[in-house]
Chain A
C-alpha cells in the first residue's frame, strides 16, 4: 500500500488545455515535493512545499499544499507538448526524513 496516492494515473489532453494532478494521503507530511521525469532519465525536482495552504507558481505550473498537509495538487495552465512526462509527488512524513513517492501520473499533451 502506497503512502501517497496519485490520480489520475494517465492523462492525455490537447495542447492549450488545462490539467490538474492530485496527490493524496491519510498521513501528515512535513513537506511535499513534485518531480517531472522524462523517458530514460531520472526525476527532476520542480518544487518543494512545506507550509499548509502554501501555493507556489512556476510559470504555468501551480502547486498547492493542503491545509492539513496531507495532500497536494499540481495544476498546469495552457499545457504545451513540452509538459509531457511522468509527474511524481513525494512526501517527507513527520518524524521520518525519508521520502515516500507516489506511483506517478503520466501526462501526454497532444499537438
Chain B
C-alpha cells in the first residue's frame, strides 16, 4: 500500500491564482480530512469527509473547496489564492470517522507559497 499520497510536494502561486491540491489513499478509508499547519498554531482542520459524496467544513474553511466523488480521492481547491494561505497542507485518512479509536494516517504534505 502507498498509504496517503499528496501532490505536488511544493507549489508557488501568485495572488489570485487557483489550484487543486491532490490527495489519494489506497487503504479503503472512509474518513478523509485536510489540515493546514502554520508555525506556532499546530494543525487546523479545513474540510473533512466521512464518505464518498459527503463533505463538511472544519475550523478554517474559507477560501477552500473540496469534493469526494470516490472513496480514494479528496482534492482541495484554492479558489483565489491569497498570501494568508501560505502554509503546509496535510491530507489524512482513517478507517472510520471515530478518530478516537482509529489511527489517522497523514500524507507527506504540500508546501504552498502564495506571493
Contacts and interface: CB of A to CB of B under 8 A. Distances in A.
Given A88-B43, A98-B48, A42 B99 contact: no
Interface string B32-53: 0001000011111100100000
Contacts, number: 59
Contacts of A43: 43, 90, 106
A48 B101 contact: yes
B61 interface: no
Interface residues of B, number: 24
A45 interface: yes
B45 A103 contact: no
Given A88-B42, A101-B42, A40 B109 contact: yes
B100 interface: yes
Nearest to B102: A48
Contacts of A42: 4, 90, 92, 106-109
Interface string A72-111: 0000000000000000101010000111011110000000
A97 B99 contact: yes
A41 B97 contact: no
B42 A104 contact: yes
B108 A41 contact: yes
Nearest to A90: B43
Interface of B: 4, 35, 40-45, 48, 58, 90, 92, 97-101, 103-109
11 contacts: A4-B42, A33-B99, A40-B109, A42-B90, A42-B92, A43-B43, A48-B100, A92-B99, A98-B48, A98-B58, A101-B44
